[in-house]
Amino acid sequence: MPRRRLHAALALIALSVLPATSAASPAPLPDGPLLRVETGRGERITVAGTDTVPGRSIDVWLPPDDPDGAPYAVVVMFDGQMLFDASTTWNRQAWRADVAAAAVQQVGRARPFVIVAVPNAGPARHAEYFPQKPFEALPAAFRTSLAAGRRPDGPALFAREVYSDAFARWLVEAVLPAVEARFPVSRDPDDRVVVGSSMGGLMAMYTVLEHPAAFGGFGALSTHWPGIFEMADNPIPAAFQSYVRTMLPAPGRHRLYFDHGNATLDALYPPLQAEVDRIAVDRGWRFPAYRSLAFPGEAHTEDAWAQRLPGVFSFLLPARTAETANPPSRR
């Protein structure tokens, strides 16, 4: 099959597995214990927005031993409506993040932490999660074409102008303080990490690279390096690579995690991730602070990410007594 037709076919397949692209815009809901989880305890809080970033209800998960493990580390996770309860998601899949988090904490593979589940902005998800500085580095004509572009199933790709810079600031200046005011969490930046998949993986990386003093690391699963759903004549991966080359912090304090499969939309990622890995190695990044894993045969789905999530948690927030333990084999 010619490359252009292959990529078009992959794009059409991807529309059925992208996380929460069909979700409605986030709307404030009453505070309280409304989050359905299998283990631990969840509470829903409302965080006010700004002139640029819509406010929304955010779910905070606490482990079963609450408050015995306090002060907790903090894992901010994107596409929050996809994390816990598959009965409420658009594709009836979920990360089962509560189960993964409880499991790694109970066996001592990770230090105690809470999950701050930030839902996406529905139709504005692409505008919220597309890293803004790489976007602004794209040729003007290409940016214009993106603004007018549509997904293969019809909806506009960008519902509004990209505002990921403001969204990252909102996380640091509004979401974290709201969580810290209400829950027994650590305020040490080394105890804060950001995790996401696909476009959310890009945004997890971007948030930490834009605010390195506020976080200790990120986890980017099935990172959507193409930015859109077509690879032919696409300058976006090169823009992301240039940004990473410029903004990647020096090794020493952070922990950085990438992974990908090679089925459905993930089939586009291996060569793009390999180039980012080369950039990181050139900047001095090595295991155990840097991890990039491949999962052959795995697709672009919440079920796949759920299987990998325990390893993400234990890598980003290793138990204090286990930080020098022998690591698992690498790619």
C-alpha gyration radius of the chain:
19
Reported as type and span, the H/E element at residue 176 is helix 176-182
Tally of domains in the chain:
1
Q: Which pairing describes strands 73-77 and 56-62: parallel, antiparallel, or unpaired?
A: unpaired
What phi and psi values does residue 107 have, to the nearest 5 degrees?
-100, 10
Specify if 326 maps to a domain: no
What CATH number is associated with residue 86? Answer: 3.40.50.1820
The helix, strand and coil proportions of the chain, stated in percent and rounded to the nearest 5, come to 40, 15, 45
3-state SS class at 288: coil
pLDDT of residue 111: 96
Specify if 210 maps to a domain: yes
pLDDT of residue 242: 98
Q: Which residues contact 274 (CB under 8 A, 6 or more apart)?
A: none
Specify if 122 maps to a domain: yes
- Tell me whether residue 184 is exposed, middle or buried, using C-beta atoms within 10 angstroms of its C-beta: 0 to 12, 13 to 18, 19 or more: middle
Specify if 331 maps to a domain: no
Q: Which of 303, 328, 156 is nearest to 222 (CA)?
A: 303
Q: Which of 222, 193, 207 is nearest to 293 (CA)?
A: 222
Specify if 324 maps to a domain: no
Domain that holds residue 101: 3-318
Specify if 99 maps to a domain: yes
Q: Which residues contact 195 (CB under 8 A, 6 or more apart)?
A: 75, 76, 77, 78, 204, 218, 219, 220, 221, 312, 316
Specify if 323 maps to a domain: no
**pTM, to two decimals:** 0.89
Q: Which of 325, 248, 245, 262 is nearest to 298 (CA)?
A: 262
State the Cα–Cα distance between residues 120 and 286, nearest whole angstrom.
32
Specify if 175 maps to a domain: yes
* Displacement of CA 273 from its chain's centroid (Å): 15
Q: Which pairing describes strands 255-260 and 192-197: parallel, antiparallel, or unpaired?
A: unpaired
Q: Which residues contact 167 (CB under 8 A, 6 or more apart)?
A: 52, 53, 128, 129, 203
pLDDT of residue 68: 84
* Displacement of CA 286 from its chain's centroid (Å): 21
Amino acid at 137: A
The residue written with tokens 């580095």 in the block is: 137
Q: Which residues contact 107 (CB under 8 A, 6 or more apart)?
A: none
Going residue by residue through the chain, which has 331 residues, state the pLDDT in tens, using 9 for 90 and above.
Answer: 444 444 444 444 444 344 444 334 455 555 555 678 999 999 999 999 999 999 999 999 999 987 888 999 999 999 999 999 998 888 999 999 999 999 999 999 999 999 999 999 999 999 999 999 999 999 999 999 888 776 656 678 888 999 999 999 999 999 999 999 999 999 999 999 999 999 999 999 999 999 999 999 999 999 999 999 889 999 999 999 999 999 999 999 999 999 999 999 999 999 999 999 999 999 999 999 999 999 999 999 999 999 999 999 999 999 986 444 444 433 3
Amino acid at 30: P
